[in-house]
Amino acid sequence: CLNNRQGYGARMVDNFAAYKNYKFVIAIENSNCQDYVSEKLILAVSSGSIPIVAGFNGRPDYRRYMPEHSYINVFDYSSIKELANDLKRIGSNKTLYESYLWYKKHDNDISKLREMPLNEKLKHLADTIGSNTTMMIDGIAAKEKSENKVCKLIRFVRQTPWQEISA
């Protein structure tokens, strides 16, 4: 893409800086596990772009981490052409584009959130976002017990010959 012609150095910081130049960012995960979301989604959201994700059959289940109408799932479309046309439509209509960033209107509360204990942060999240909060709060609170670790273990067991595991 011509916007990237200069290239970027340190990946994480520069990805964030690059993403700020785009209305949409492809944030498709490397793993197809129910609870696996990574910096790809976080950087896209933090940069102010609309993340384009690929969650099929609830894997990953983006509804647990993102408010409704805040991302675009490629599996919600019957074809790539339909997705491309919708991205053009959203990108060219300021009101429609900003409707995907509705939750950003609460960004001014961030400085207050940093000083709150976790339970107050989660309550604030519930008050701010409204629908789907139970699933998101459960997902945030249970992140350390997420399926991500289970997926990694299962992948290891499937890909490693049993002789190496038992040795």
Q: Which of 92-96, 131-135, 149-153 holds the top average pLDDT?
A: 92-96
More confident residue, 146 or 80: 80
**Of the segments 102-116, 122-136, 141-155, which one has the largest average pLDDT value?**
102-116
The pLDDT tens digits for 53-71 are: 998 776 777 877 788 888 9
Q: What is the pLDDT of residues 90-115, one digit of tens each?
A: 999 999 999 998 877 755 555 566 67
Longest dimension (CA), the chain: 60
pTM for this model (two decimals): 0.60
- The tens digit of pLDDT for each residue in 18-34 reads 888 999 999 988 877 77
Reduce the DSSP state of residue 56 to 3 states and report it: strand
The backbone torsions φ and ψ at residue 44, rounded to the nearest 5 degrees and listed phi first, read: -60, -45
pLDDT reported for residue 104: 74
pLDDT, residue 93, reads 97
Q: How far apart are CA 46 and CA 15, in angstroms?
A: 11
Q: Are 154 and 31 a contacting pair, CB within 8 Å?
A: no
How much of the chain exceeds pLDDT 70, in percent?
58
Q: What ranges do the domains of the chain cover?
A: 2-166
Q: What is the mean pLDDT of the chain?
A: 73
- Buried-state track 22-45, b at ≥16 Cβ within 10 A, e below 16: bebbebebeeebbbbbeebbebbb
Query: % helix / strand / coil in the chain, to the nearest 5?
Result: 60, 5, 35
